Structure formats: C-alpha cells, structure tokens
Amino acid sequence: KAGVTQTPRYLIKTRGQQVTLSCSPISGHRSVSWYQQTPGQGLQFLFEYFSETQRNKGNFPGRFSGRQFSNSRSEMNVSTLELGDSALYLCASSVPAGGRADTQYFGPGTRLTVL
Amino acid sequence: GDSVTQMEGPVTLSEEAFLTINCTYTATGYPSLFWYVQYPGEGLQLLLKATKADDKGSNKGFEATYRKETTSFHLEKGSVQVSDSAVYFCALEFQGGKLIFGQGTELSVKP
C-alpha cells in the first residue's frame, strides 16, 4: 500500500502571497490531519478533516484553512504569507474507529520557505 | 491544558549503550500515548503506542509502558545502534485526530 504523499515537497514564496499544499492519504484512510513543525514551536496541530468535515482545529489564525475532498484527499491553504509561516508542514492520515482516531501515518512533509 | 514534556536533548550515547528518554504528560482523561521517530529530512514514523494504563508498546527493540500513576511513558532500548540516531517525539491523543507532541529529543549514537 502506498504511503501518505504530499506535494510539493519544497516551496519558496514571498511575503503576502498565498500557498496551497496537497495531501493524499493512504488508501482507505478517511481522516487527514495537518501539523506545522518549526524549530521554535515544535510540532503543532493545525486541523483535522473526516468525511469532508473539519472536526478539530488548532490555535492558528484564520489565514490557515483547509478542506477535504470526497476521495479523502486534502489541501491546506495559507493566505497572506508571513516570514513566520516558514516551516515543515506535515500531513497524517488514519482510520478513525468509534469516533477515536487510530494511529496516524505521516507523509514526508512540504518544506515552505517564505522570503 | 493537555501537554507533553520530554527530557531535553541532545542525548549522545556510544553504540550498545542503554537508552532512556523520559516523557511525562498532563491530561484531564486517559489518552492514547505514542512515540514517533523522525530521521533527517523525513516525516514522522510511528515507533510504538499504548492505549491504556499498564500497556507496554514495543517495536525494533524499543519499549515504553503507560504508567497512569506517574503519568509517564518513558522510552527505553537495551542496546542502541548508530542507525537509531534521530529525533524522538512523545505524543498523546484523545480523539479527533489531534496529536499533542513533546518538544522532541535528539539522539546521537557514536560508533
């Protein structure tokens, strides 16, 4: 079974631009979560989608948004980029069981650099 | 709020040494607990997990026991190898696909 894939792997943008990152979960996984990883703040939860609905959201400004499609693929969007948005963005997928998410499997991440 | 605290790194060991990475958590209920590992330039890989008190997770020689009384989930390995050099993250999860991570502990194993 193919793992979680994320595209693109690397991205360079300038302040004020917007960016869209894509995540394809493992086949059969219906939950997708997004995380931001930075040296200063570590790994922080952004949001989680299940069956095209956002079920949980972290403490990030409204510039960070996401969505999930009917095939479980997910995208996250960051508008009006700031220098501090430079980070590794990780996507993870899982098979929720009984309302409690199972083990999350991570993709390789998208490295976003904001200049 | 819920949180995870790991021992600070970097941890430097010689090959075949014993490894312990401490992890304690604060939570209002009984979360599932995980250890993930991140190799340079890669995403996170699940190392092991435990879903209830006294459960022991194990994988590739690594072990961790869910201790409710001490709210801990320490990672141990009897004999580390150079290939174990990586960053290790302890994490907890209640539900809704939200993992709360510790700050990570970098391990360097020298031959």
pLDDT digits (tens, 9 = 90+) for B40-85: 888 899 999 998 899 999 999 999 999 999 999 999 999 999 999 9
Nearest CA in chain B to A89: B43
Give the whole-number percent of chain A exceeding pLDDT 90.
Answer: 87
Query: Residue A76's closest CA among A88, A84, B16?
Result: A88
User: Do A26 and B91 contact (CB within 8 A), yes or no?
Assistant: no
Give the whole-number percent of chain A exceeding pLDDT 70.
Answer: 95
Q: Indicate the average pLDDT of chain B.
A: 94
Nearest CA in chain B to A33: B97
Statement: residue B94 has pLDDT above 80:
no
Task: Give the model's pLDDT for residue B30.
Answer: 84
B9 touches chain A (CB under 8 A): no
Residue B32: C-alpha distances to residues A52, A87, A113 (Å): 25, 27, 33
Nearest CA in chain B to A109: B43
As a residue count, chain A comes to 115
Task: Give the model's pLDDT for residue A95.
Answer: 84
Mutation target among A7, A26, A44, A106 for the B interface, most CBs of B within 10 A: A106
Q: Is the peptide bond before A8 cis (omega within 30 degrees of 0)?
A: yes
Q: Indicate the average pLDDT of chain A.
A: 93
Statement: residue B99 has pLDDT above 90:
yes
Task: Give the model's pLDDT for residue A86.
Answer: 98
Provide the total of helices (H) and of strands (E) in chain B, helices listed first.
0, 12
Statement: residue A100 has pLDDT above 60:
no
Residue A108 and residue B28: Cα distance in Å, rounded?
A: 32
What tokens does A67 get? 């969505």
What are the residues of chain A with a beta carbon less than 8 Å away from any beta carbon of chain B?
4, 31-33, 35, 42-45, 48, 50, 55-56, 58, 90, 92, 94, 96, 99-101, 103-109
Chain-chain contact of B45 with A106 (C-beta, under 8 angstroms): yes
Task: Give the model's pLDDT for residue A98.
Answer: 54
Task: Give the model's pLDDT for residue B42.
Answer: 87
User: What's the whole-number mean pLDDT along residues B80-104?
Assistant: 92
Statement: residue A112 has pLDDT above 70:
yes
Task: Give the model's pLDDT for residue B41.
Answer: 84
Residue B50: C-alpha distances to residues A24, A87, B20, B41 (Å): 27, 29, 17, 27
